[in-house]
Amino acid sequence: MKTTHRTSLIFGGARSGKSAFAEQLASRLSDGNQQVLYLATAKAGDTEMQERIAHHRERRPADWGTLEQSLELGSTIMARSRADNIILVDCLTVWLSNLLFSESTNFPEIGHITPPPQFAVQRQALLDALVQAPGQIILVSNEVGMGIVPMGAVSRWFVDEAGRLNQSVAAIADNVVLVAAGLPLYLKGQPC
């Protein structure tokens, strides 16, 4: 049983295979000896999202635990992480969106975006948890900044903050893997 702290960031574009890769990594790391907790950040708001969530559930082993947490990710990681378990968080960009829209604020199309007060608190709590939590943590995130700069202030803010969050998590992580077309490219660390 592995007891060392290890954090991995798995990121890529939409439908790149990043979630499947993260799930395979969790299975390899657990080797059947460590409990895996799937920490889901998505909310099943509409039919499309319900279908996406169902697809992800079908792929996961039946013995994995699942916990839905859309906002308080850092405190949940701290409460659930143990030296003998693995937490797989899917995904950071959905969580970021949840934080941004947590207070049903109407954001302007032009001008400055002021995120809800809990944004900075929850973001810092996540980064602190990644440093302090005793277990292995695998985080999935989207790379949203490789395309056209979006129109609309809130869309640009989201792309900027997603990039900043990925950079902050990558600085902490032991492994950083970019997944494209289902293929992993290790940017930091070694294959597990």
The catalytically annotated residue of 5, 55, 56, 112 is 56
Three-state DSSP class for residue 140:
strand
**Catalytic residue status for 55:** no
Place of tokens 């292995």: 136
Neighbours of 162 (CB within 10 A): 20
Q: Across-strand partners of 86?
A: 36, 136
Tokens at 66, concatenated: 């699942």
Neighbours of 38 (CB within 10 A): 22
Residues 184, 177: Cα–Cα separation, whole Å: 6
Q: Which positions are annotated as active-site residues?
A: 56
